[in-house]
Structure 1
Amino acid sequence: MPQPLSYRQHLRAVLGLGLPLAGSHLAQFAITLTDAVMLGWYSVEALAAEVLGGTLFFVLFIMGSGFAWAVMPMVARAASSGEEAQVRRVTRMGLWASAIFGLACLPVTLGSATLFLALGQDPGTSALAGDYLVIAGWGILPGLMVMVLKSALAALERTGVVLWVTLAAVALNILVNYALIFGNLGMPELGVRGAAIASVSVNVASILVLAVYVQHSMPEHTMFARLWRPDWEALAQVFRLGWPIGITNLAEVGLFAASSVMMGWLGTLPLAAHGIALQVTSVIFMVHVGLSNAATVRAGQAQGRGDGPGLRAGARVVLAVSGLVALGTVVVFLSVPETLIGLFLSPDDPDRPAVVAIGVMLLAAAALFQVVDAAQVMALGLLRGVQDTRVPMVIAALSYWAVGVPASYVLGFPLGFGGAGIWLGLALGLALAGVFMLWRFWGWSVRAVPV
């Protein structure tokens, strides 16, 4: 029997996995951020169209990512228990499930202009957003496949390549945006369509680079052997684990979408402050997502070895690391909120003082928000690691939609707390999710692994 790891060894393993994964998530977020900044420089109309089209794309993408996230614990468990064939089977069928979902999404993206009009959006913005998604929508196929390979590589502790490929994607996105949005480097000026081409190009380039890396640097896994053959048993396993993850992702994304709608009811300036505060909090959230991925991998490995003590010790370590990051975030949000909000605003903007004042109040609420959000995302990572996804899906849906959204509305409007009330409602929903998911992990899931 191998000797149990010390807490220091668990910490080293968590940071070795989690830091590169956090970096890759931050880099992925930077792609979205650079799209928004560069289209904002081009025109407000193009930015509005990208926000509208990009929101629909992201909702579909985050649902489909459930199959990729399912691959991570399944590969980690199979690799740690010496089931090499299962590593290959699960990864291949993760690619299949993602491709099937991506193809199912194409009619929605290709007909999105009509959908936006039906939802009461401005006709001009709807048409431009439709132009964007007619091109960008095709990127969901390679994009979801990239997620599958990244998940498999993370589970096999090849996190360095995940980080470097994502950083290269950021650079490529900026270059193609510069050329095609504005008509530089001898290319045509395409505006929002240029950003869509950049998005597809980045996803296609990423899947090609990752596929070449897997094929040539990991030949022992023969990941793509007989890729064209269906493996119905493995596909069913990926589907059973993945669809609850996709619904859980959708429930959380929907919570934040509902908060944006409610902030819009308060006016343009509160909505602008809300958008900025979300950008700031999203940067920190990416760190927690990276740590959550590390928790998934480590929990899956422990389950594969039948190592209950290692699972429990690793869970304590990753929760402690995430908690320290959250506490540091609280200090920053409460000490320099004006500086953080001001980074997104021109010094000459006449609305700057009003937006900063609202944003400071929102970041104060976000100080609490970060702690509970860290708890729930870490609990989700641990639960996915032991392949417990259906009950967490129910917990998420009830916490976010039966509690979070109604609480945001009541605190924001009938009780008159405005934007701060909306954010406190978010925090309440996330807090309940965190408490019940942690209870699920410690009270039930962890008992399935031998003591």
Structure 2
Amino acid sequence: MKAVYKKYKHLYRDNLKLATPVMISQLGHTLVQASDSVIVGHFAGTVCLAAVSLVNSIFVIPMIIGLGISYGVTPLIAQNNGRKDYAECGKLLSNGLFINLICGTILFGVLFLGSIYALNHLHQSPQVVEQAKPFLTLLGLSLIPMLIFNTFKQFAEGLGFTKQAMVISVIGNILNICVGIILVKGLFGIKPMGVRGVGYSTLIDRCLMAIVMSAYVFRSENFKVYLKTFAIRNINYLRSIQILRIGTPIALQYTFELSAFSAAAIIIGSISLVQQAAHQVAINLASMTYMVSSGIAAAATIKTGNYFGVKDHKGLRSSAISNYHIVIAFMAFTALLFSFGSPFLPYIYTTDKAVIVVASQLLIIAAVFQIFDGTQVVGLGILRGMGDVNIPTISTFLAYWVVGLPVGYYLGIELNWGVKGIWYGLVLGLMVSSALMFFRFQYISRRHEVKSAS
């Protein structure tokens, strides 16, 4: 262990310096949903908490599609910056912003027209559906400013500037919590809004974050050399397709994984309201650790893209392996946290004893899948930095929709194991995904290393 640490020590330091702000920034997306759940769970009751669970299980799909497409620009920015092609970076930003504006508008339209109708046909509690509809509309509208923010965030992070998005995300989340409490509970003479209150607070928060992040990029001296080619005239078909060829498979990768968890939430909702609320509590906590791992993966994408751009494949492998070490250490810690904290952590979200009992059991299962969850998302990030996105997309589909969800449905519904059975299936899906990503990384990176040496 000492020899391994000595070998990778400088890489741990460099990668953590880049990854830490990204981790905190990535965590912001989940903290918005987590704060919504905490506020609603304490101030609006179990029915409203179940409504938040239902909406989040639907909303996460278009959200992750939008985020995935926006991530397509990051490896391209990192690779071109590694080659010192600053003009191309500015052109990529122009095309990335155009794509994300169109994407956000389309996703909102689909949510508004399709999902509201679908809520009536998911066999959920009528009380839950009534609370869910206005919340889903407000979250859908917030997709547009969220993707504008993410466009400039991914541009800055692709160039190695990660701290600013972190600061904006932290301040935005504090604002979201404060406004959410005021609107949900009804303070300062405002009529209590219930679930709609957290919808409005999220929309306000994301609009302000988009304005501040874009203003930072346009005003900072760090980006002047890149922004010389940022213009409408540089939006073109070929460059947009280049971004979409990476962004679309990334979106599908995230979609296959998170849609399996969303489908699981809907299946759980057909079992009982208490199990649905407990699932929301446990998945919120697990999502926080996942988003931290996703931040490590985003940093791994940037570093891998830099090495790949200059064809330093030996350095790429060493950097990638060090990121695997970092995520394993972090997720081992969170596994212990979930194991020992399972009786207490659900109280963050609710005081309903029935929900707490079930959520505590789910956190033990979450502890089991922590390392698999972390290593699979880091593996995806490394492969993304090398431009390898198509085979990993197929692998994620197989892991979650061919293995994980069917096994979970069989255990949970057919064998009547309930929510725990469904979660066991999801654990299996994460294990399969983790293994496939690692073997793919080993194959691709060694092939490039041999080719460059010959």
Q: 8 Å contact 1:24–1:163 — kept in the other structure? A: yes
Task: Report matched runs for 1:227-306 at 5 Å.
Answer: 227=232, 230-306=235-311
Gaps of 5+ in 2: 1-5
The 1-side partners of 2:409 and 2:81 are apart by: 46
Q: Report deviation, 1:107.
A: 2.5
2:72 counterpart SS class: helix
The 2-side partners of 1:286 and 1:301 are apart by: 23
Q: 8 Å contact 1:142–1:207 — kept in the other structure? A: yes
Correspondence 1:195 to 2:198: yes
State the Cα deviation string for residues 40-92 of structure 1 (Å, max 9, x = none). Answer: 34434554444444433321111111221111111111111111112112222
Change (3 A) 1:133 1:410: closer
2:388 counterpart SS class: coil
1:444 counterpart SS class: helix
Matched residue, 2:58: 56
Correspondence 1:161 to 2:157: no
Matched residue, 2:440: 440
Which piece of structure 1 moves more, 337-346 or 63-72?
337-346
Matched residue, 1:425: 425
RMSD: 2.5
Change (3 A) 1:257 1:345: same
State the Cα deviation string for residues 302-324 of structure 1 (Å, max 9, x = none). Answer: 10111101100001101011111
Q: Report deviation, 1:210.
A: 0.9
Count of residues in Structure 1 that have an aligned counterpart in Structure 2: 442
Q: 8 Å contact 1:93–1:234 — kept in the other structure? A: yes
Matched residue, 1:365: 365
Q: Report deviation, 1:18.
A: 1.2
Q: 8 Å contact 1:408–1:423 — kept in the other structure? A: yes
Matched residue, 1:318: 323
Change (3 A) 1:94 1:191: same
Change (3 A) 1:322 1:222: same
The 1-side partners of 2:228 and 2:32 are apart by: 28
The 1-side partners of 2:283 and 2:397 are apart by: 21
Q: Report deviation, 1:345.
A: 4.1
Task: Report matched runs for 1:19-418 at 5 Å.
Answer: 19-44=20-45, 46-111=48-113, 112-122=115-125, 125-187=128-190, 189-217=192-220, 218-222=223-227, 225-227=230-232, 230-346=235-351, 349-351=352-354, 355-356=356-357, 358-415=358-415, 417-418=417-418
Aligned-partner residue type, residue 36 of structure 2:
D
Q: Report deviation, 1:291.
A: 0.8
Aligned-partner residue type, residue 381 of structure 1:
G
2:71 counterpart SS class: helix
- After TM superposition, the score normalised by the length of structure 1 is 0.90
The 2-side partners of 1:223 and 1:282 are apart by: 38
Q: 8 Å contact 2:30–2:284 — kept in the other structure? A: no
Change (3 A) 1:199 1:280: closer
Q: Report deviation, 1:377.
A: 0.7
State the Cα deviation string for residues 229-275 of structure 1 (Å, max 9, x = none). Answer: 52222101011111111111111111112322343454344434333
The 1-side partners of 2:378 and 2:189 are apart by: 47
Q: 8 Å contact 2:66–2:100 — kept in the other structure? A: yes
Q: 8 Å contact 1:183–1:189 — kept in the other structure? A: yes
Change (3 A) 1:52 1:261: closer
The 1-side partners of 2:104 and 2:438 are apart by: 32
1:139 counterpart SS class: helix
1:351 counterpart SS class: helix
The 2-side partners of 1:275 and 1:417 are apart by: 18
Aligned-partner residue type, residue 421 of structure 1:
G
Aligned-partner residue type, residue 147 of structure 2:
L
State the Cα deviation string for residues 126-161 of structure 1 (Å, max 9, x = none). Answer: 454333344432221111121121112111111110
The 2-side partners of 1:134 and 1:313 are apart by: 45
Change (3 A) 1:420 1:139: closer
Q: 8 Å contact 1:91–1:223 — kept in the other structure? A: no
Gaps of 5+ in 1: none
Q: Report deviation, 1:418.
A: 4.2
The 1-side partners of 2:74 and 2:207 are apart by: 21
Which piece of structure 1 moves more, 72-81 or 55-64?
55-64
Aligned-partner residue type, residue 407 of structure 1:
V
Q: Report deviation, 1:173.
A: 1.3
Which piece of structure 1 moves more, 61-70 or 325-334?
325-334
Share of identical aligned residues, percent? 29
Q: 8 Å contact 1:110–1:130 — kept in the other structure? A: no
Which piece of structure 1 moves more, 151-160 or 418-427?
418-427
The 1-side partners of 2:243 and 2:20 are apart by: 27
Aligned-partner residue type, residue 308 of structure 1:
H
